[in-house]
């Protein structure tokens, strides 16, 4: 966050604009936190499995920047790189007390009425 703030301040200083409002930096993304938590001080990953997942994360980040991977709700870079969540009631890398509903919001519900269903499906 400090690096982002410093970068933003430098950009404002270079523009020399007096009416520029400095917005706070965006929060660190889940997959970036995950990678940082598994990176040793030497810069190497903590395990081979972590290295494989980081490679998948990097690939998905590239696809997302090109627009071929769309991040939506629970379908984010970290979830796709790791695979199916082991604990469907929790959110990885968001803290122990954070629930899915708190993090992603309520799921939109759709219902099928009998008039919209085909007779053979009833």
In this predicted model, what pLDDT tens digit does every residue of 8-66 receive, in sequence order?
A: 778 777 776 656 566 666 788 888 999 999 999 998 999 999 999 999 999 998 888 88
Residue 39's DSSP bridge partners are 45
115 falls within a domain: no
* 18 occurs within a structural domain: no
Name the nearest CA neighbour of 75 among 26, 63, 38: 63
Task: Report yes or no on 54 lying in a domain.
Answer: yes
% of the chain residues with pLDDT over 90 = 21
Q: Is the pLDDT of residue 73 over 80?
A: no
Residue 112 lies in a domain: no
Assigned domain for 91 exists: yes
Does residue 40 lie within any of the structural domains? yes
95 vs 67, which has greater pLDDT?
Answer: 67
pLDDT for 13: 75
Report the predicted TM-score, pTM, of the whole model to 2 decimal places. 0.52
Residue 66 lies in a domain: yes
Alpha-carbon distances of 31 from 12, 15, 112, rounded to whole Å = 28, 32, 36
Q: Look at residue 20 and tell me if it is in a domain.
A: no
- The count of structural domains within the chain is 1
Domain that holds residue 73: 27-107
């Amino acid at each position: 966050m400090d690096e982002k703030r410093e970068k933003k301040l430098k950009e404002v200083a270079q523009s020399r604009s007096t009416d520029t409002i400095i917005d706070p930096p965006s929060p660190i993304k889940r997959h970036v936190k995950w990678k940082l938590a598994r990176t040793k001080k030497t810069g190497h990953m903590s395990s081979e499995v972590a290295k494989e997942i980081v490679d998948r994360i990097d690939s998905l980040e590239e696809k997302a920047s090109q627009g071929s991977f769309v991040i939506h709700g629970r379908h984010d870079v970290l979830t796709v790189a790791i695979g199916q969540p082991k604990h469907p009631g929790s959110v990885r890398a968001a803290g122990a007390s954070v629930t899915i509903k708190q993090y992603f919001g309520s799921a939109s519900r759709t219902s099928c009425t009998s008039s919209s269903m085909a007779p053979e499906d009833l």
